[in-house]
């Protein structure tokens, strides 16, 4: 009996993860992408001066540096590589 319960539970977990991976996560990827995009735009407002866009308040933004330091370099690369805005948008809606 116990064995059966265990097997059922494992099966259910598999099912949940399968369902999540097949239907939910795919959709959530769009949401996540959107969140990352907003965040990248926010970074542009915070640290635009690193890309040559003057930011009058860059002094106050320094205190945020410790929290975004890890992402700073990849972000700079992403921003400098933004050549195909349309392709980027299309990818977001599965047109790639």
Partner 1 sequence: MRHFTFFGGKGGTGKTSCAASYALSLAARGVRTLVVSTDPAHSLADAFDKPIGFQTAPLCPNLWGLEIDAEVEAKKYMKSIQDKMLDLVSAAIVDEIKRQIEIAYMSPGAEEAAIFDKFIELMEAVGRDYDAIVFDTAPTGHTLRLLTLPEILGAWIEHLIEKRRKAMDLMKMAARYDKPLAERIANDPIIQTLTARREKFALARKYLTDPEASIFYFVLNPEKLPILETARAVELLSRHGIAVGGVVVNKVIPADAGPFLEKKRLSQEGYLREIRGRFSSMTIIELPMLDDDIQGMVQLQRISAMMEGLDS
Residues that bind partner 1 (CB under 8 A): 20, 24, 28-29, 31-32, 34-36, 38-39, 41-42, 45-47, 49-50, 54-70, 72-73
End-to-end C-alpha distance for the chain, whole angstroms: 50
Is residue 88 a contact partner of residue 82, using CB atoms and an 8 Å limit? yes
**Residue with smaller CB distance to partner 1, 73 or 96:** 73
Single out the residue of 46, 39, 43, 75 nearest to residue 60, CA to CA. Answer: 46
Single out the residue of 9, 82, 6 nearest to residue 44, CA to CA. Answer: 82
**Residue with smaller CB distance to partner 1, 42 or 90:** 42
Least separation in angstroms between CB 94 and partner 1: 17
Which of helix, strand or coil describes residue 53?
A: coil
**Residue with smaller CB distance to partner 1, 72 or 90:** 72
């Amino acid at each position: 009996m116990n064995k059966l319960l265990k097997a059922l539970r494992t099966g259910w977990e598999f099912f949940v993860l399968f369902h999540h991976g097949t239907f939910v996560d795919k959709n959530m990827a769009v949401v996540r992408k959107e969140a990352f995009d907003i965040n990248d735009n926010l970074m542009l407002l915070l640290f635009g001066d690193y890309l040559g866009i003057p930011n009058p308040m860059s002094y106050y933004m320094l205190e945020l540096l410790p929290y975004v330091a890890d992402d700073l370099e990849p972000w700079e690369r992403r921003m400098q590589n933004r050549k195909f805005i349309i392709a980027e948008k299309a990818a977001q809606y599965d047109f790639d």
